[in-house]
Structure 1
């Protein structure tokens, strides 16, 4: 009965019939019985969205970028990038931040075309992002509206993994968390001496996040974290550092 209710919740939508890709995604997710395998056994999709703002009801996705990781290596030939034409209006201030012009966005395709391509690219991979909850919220809203259900996938947040690392290794987690910009993508990139890419581009930010993710997984593995379950738990347990 519980499983039946979960399936109904994942697939239900009043606006659209459930897209076959969402059905496949949900069925794969529900078939999983945990994540006991070693981290390198899983496939990851590191992604980023560019948004017109942070208001989940008013703002929109204007770009999606992603890169695939297999065997804990970035697969450079397997990337995803798409500009998205907003539904309502062109948000000038935001698009300037992202270096996107109204002309570029007018020539882009709409989210109804881009979103299924992105869901297909993700497949059954574990999703990774920097402050990934925000991106997932916008994606969930979009998939419910346009594809009739949720995109269900385990996910890891590089902010939370960085917090776990600082708490366990440097024992500076809480103090470091309150430094301005400490857990920004650029701040962590600089702190760890990682390669730097252009900011405010969804694909470049995804690659930047992928480098950060691989760095943190190596460091946390040195502390004894091995399985995907270990990393999922590490991220959850250290969320109190955000407060």
Structure 2
């Protein structure tokens, strides 16, 4: 009885929760998993108070970026200040005012990621922003497993190996791409960073596969959950 009172009524959210209720075994071969690479540009760098301004995602499966499955959104957010974040991504308050309502965008986003592993560079921030928005609009959490290409780079690229020194941070997307000679697409846009991160994910996965000398399993990607 009490569970029914808190069950989400929105059918999109119910379908997302039903499709993302399981945690894949860490021994699952990655070719049995569906990955969605994403990026969000935000009004600032604080999960508790800042807002998502743009969001993009694309499917990656069978070692290919599914360009036909690419999606991007501009979100309407009122009262956005011109600050350091705006200086980075260039999304002005006037542009955000022409975006779509956040709840509407999330309702389109959820079916695309149901049951998928979410991949991003420093993905914990993007996931935290999405989780806060989902809780605010739909009273549900972001349930997907997360894979961080920044941490994959620390495992696969000698320049970024863990040193044991306190305070070592995962490398930025710029640093990893420079190390690999990977061109960057429209840096600091959600669309461009999504495509760049998808390419990076495929490159780092291939390096891990060669290093280990076997097909990758889920645990090789060091997944985590919020």
Structure 2 equivalent of residue 92 of structure 1: 82
Q: How far, CA to CA, are the matches of 1:30 and 1:100 in structure 2? A: 35
Which digits, 9 at most, give the CA deviation of each residue in 1:12-70, with x for residues without a partner? 58xxx453233222223334552533222322110001011122222111010111112
- Computed over aligned residues only, the root mean square deviation of the Cα atoms, in angstroms, reads 2.7
Match status 1:204 vs 2:195: no
Q: Deviations over 1:110-131 (max 9, x none)?
A: 2111111111222322100011
Tell me by how many angstroms 1:180 deviates: 9.4
1:127 corresponds in structure 2 to: 118
The change in CA–CA distance for 1:204 and 1:33 in structure 2 (over 3 A counts) is closer
Q: 1:137 to 1:32 in 2, by over 3 A?
A: closer
Tell me the residue number matched to 1:58.
Answer: 49
Aligned length, in residue pairs? 219
Alpha carbons 1:67, 1:203 under 8 Å: kept: no
Higher deviation after alignment, 216-225 or 184-193: 216-225
**Does the CA contact (< 8 Å) of 1:25 and 1:123 recur in 2?**
yes
Residue 13 of structure 2: aligned partner: 22
Match 1:231 to one of 196, 217, 220: 220
Normalising to structure 1: TM-score of the pair? 0.80
- Give the distance between the partners of 2:180 and 2:54, measured in 1 at CA: 27
Matching residue of 1:79: 70
Q: Report the CA distance between 1:160 and its aligned residue.
A: 1.0
Relative to its length, the structure with more helix (as a share) is 1
Q: 1:4 maps to which residue?
A: none
Cα distance in 2 for residues equivalent to 1:100 and 1:82:
13
Query: Cα gap change, 1:172/1:77 in structure 2, threshold over 3 Å: closer, same or farther?
Result: closer
Task: Quickly say closer, same or farther: Cα 1:204–1:55, change in 2 above 3 A.
Answer: same
TM-score (norm 2): 0.85
Q: Which runs of 5+ in 2 are unaligned?
A: none
